[in-house]
Structures are given as structure tokens and as C-alpha cells.
């Protein structure tokens, strides 16, 4: 499978991390199931993928509301991240995306724009040996309004000194694509694991 890029000249590439650079969504789901299982809180796999790009804290708060639970948001978010870190030895990159990183590194500036926490993004990219390819990382700690709001992508463009129209976004989720569009950026959609094989 090759990723087909939209027409146009782009001066910067902005990448989501989980499910875009890192094939980490299956591992995140294992961590979520384990963390939420301790609270007898179900998290359907379809819903998990539909919510891709949402910050961890928002997911826990929403599940609390949906299920009438009082799971501790901060502590559970931290616990879930630690369970994910335990799975990092199994992490692989998504070759079709890495191909574009390798091809344009040194020619264009790159940023990572994630709904995940910076610590999680840094650990994933370090595991994959890709951390040094990115000029900046925008994580959930850096903005208030998450995707589909454009804030995270606009912040990344500003940090790179680029106009939004000059940026191409690589994303795997619908809310990520919506955020890129709201920021005035072209995007390319990375298919989910079951469509890539």
C-alpha cells in the first residue's frame, strides 16, 4: 500500500503519532482494556478507534459520564500510560509513513501533533528511533482544545514558522482530518490496521 499525497507544494509535514507514525493503536487498546478492567468499565474496540485522537483525560471523563462511574481521571490516565509503556518493546512503525519521513527529512521541517501526552509521544518515537527527525512535538499538554479543533495543528505551524496552507498533515482519524481542515491544511489519511494488510 502506498500513501497518495494530495497535489500541491508543501513546505512542512505535520504528523499525528499514534496510528500514523507508530502502529501503536492495538497496544494502546490493550493498555486501555487492562486499566479500565480494574474499574469494570467496558471500552468497545470500535468506540476506541472512533475516539482516536482524543486526549486520554477526555476519554476517561467521557467514560465516567457514560457509565455513571467516578474513575480518578489523572491517576487512571497515568496508570494507562504506564501499561502502554510496558508494551513498547512490541511497537512497530507504519512503513508507508516512515517512507515519507525518510524521503523528505532534511528537506522539510517535521512536527508531531498528537492527542497523546508529550511523554507518551517521546517514548514511542524513541522506541522507533525516529525522535530526532522532528523539529517540534505538540502534545495534549500544549493546548486546551483538542482535535477536531484546529489549535494543535496551528500551534505546530507557528512553531515551525510556516503558514497553515504550506503544511501537509498525516492523520489516521476522522477527528484529526477535521482538525487539519479547520486549520486550513491539506491532509492525507493513513488507513487503520485492518485496511493496511
Residue 153 neighbours by CB under 8 Å, 6+ apart: 14, 113, 164, 167, 169, 179, 180, 183, 185
Residue that the C-alpha cell 457509565 belongs to: 67
**Is residue 16 annotated as part of the catalytic site, yes or no?**
yes
- Cell representation of residue 147: 482535535
CA 38 to chain centre: 25
Q: Which of 16, 18, 151, 172 is catalytic?
A: 16
Task: Measure the CA–CA gap between 69 and 9, rounded to whole angstroms.
Answer: 49
Which 3 state secondary structure label does DSSP give 19? coil
Burial class (CB in 10 A: 0-12, 13-18, 19+), 122: middle
Taking residue 78's Cβ as centre, other Cβ atoms within 10 Å add up to 15
Rounded to 10°, the helix 174-182/151-160 angle is 60
Active site residues per annotation: 16
Amino acid at each position: 500500500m502506498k500513501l497518495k499525497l494530495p497535489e500541491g507544494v508543501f513546505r512542512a509535514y505535520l504528523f499525528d503519532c499514534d496510528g500514523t507514525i507508530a502502529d501503536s493503536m492495538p497496544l494502546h487498546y490493550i493498555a486501555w482494556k487492562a486499566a479500565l478492567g480494574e474499574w469494570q468499565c467496558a471500552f468497545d474496540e470500535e468506540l476506541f478507534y472512533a475516539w482516536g485522537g482524543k486526549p486520554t483525560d477526555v476519554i476517561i471523563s467521557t467514560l465516567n459520564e457514560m457509565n455513571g462511574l467516578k474513575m480518578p481521571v489523572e491517576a487512571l490516565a497515568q496508570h494507562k500510560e504506564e501499561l502502554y509503556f510496558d508494551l513498547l518493546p512490541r511497537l512497530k512503525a507504519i512503513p508507508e509513513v516512515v517512507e515519507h519521513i525518510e524521503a523528505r527529512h532534511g528537506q522539510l521541517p517535521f512536527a508531531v501533533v498528537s492527542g497523546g501526552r508529550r511523554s507518551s509521544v517521546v517514548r514511542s518515537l524513541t522506541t522507533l528511533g525516529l525522535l530526532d527527525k522532528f523539529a517540534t512535538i505538540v502534545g495534549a499538554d500544549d493546548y486546551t482544545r483538542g482535535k477536531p479543533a484546529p489549535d494543535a495543528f496551528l500551534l505546530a505551524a507557528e512553531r515551525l514558522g510556516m503558514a497553515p496552507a504550506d503544511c501537509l498533515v498525516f492523520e489516521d482519524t476522522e477527528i484529526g482530518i477535521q482538525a487539519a481542515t479547520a486549520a486550513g491544511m491539506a491532509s492525507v489519511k493513513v488507513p487503520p490496521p485492518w485496511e493496511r494488510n
